[in-house]
Amino acid sequence: MNDWRNDRIGSALRGANPTVMCRLTAGFAVIGDTQFLPGYSLLLTDDPAVQRLSELSRPQRAAFLADMDRLGEAVERACARLDPAFRRVNLEILGNTDAFLHVHVWPRFDWEPDDLVGGPVWVYPPDRWTHERYALGARHDQIRQAITDELRTRSA
């Protein structure tokens, strides 16, 4: 069986990636597989061959970064509306594990543990990334819909 997780961009292009919230100008806004920080989302490039931001032409790069800004604002507005403890959004382009160009959009909250809230999300314990309790599921439909609504309301 061809799991969409093995080809996130190709499956998004085919309409078979269930995490896609919205098609943007230069990529796809998707909800994250893990939701220990509710609203965690990503922007995936729409070209699976692109590994680095620098591989895009200047106009493509500008479009991708504008999409990043759009998704970041949508996550910020949705999370602030649904959780009064919303603090801010962190945006990261890493690429150390997945070779395709993507941006992590992490909402941060005042309820996070004091020893973790001031640092990068990557210092969270391993169980946050793998435990079923934090896996994307129906209980995240409200935040997913709120982000999607923000993306559609504030179209480019």
pTM, two decimals, is 0.94
Residue with tokens 């069986």: 1
C-alpha closest to that of 155 among 82, 74, 42: 74
Using CB atoms within 10 A of its CB, is residue 48 exposed (0-12), middle (13-18) or buried (19+)? middle
C-alpha closest to that of 128 among 98, 96, 106, 110: 106
Domain ranges of the chain: 4-153
* CATH number listed for the domain at residues 4-153: 3.30.428.10
Q: Are 56 and 50 in contact (CB under 8 A)?
A: yes
Q: What is the pLDDT of residues 3-39, one digit of tens each?
A: 888 899 999 999 999 999 999 999 999 999 999 999 9
- The single-letter DSSP state of residue 42 is E
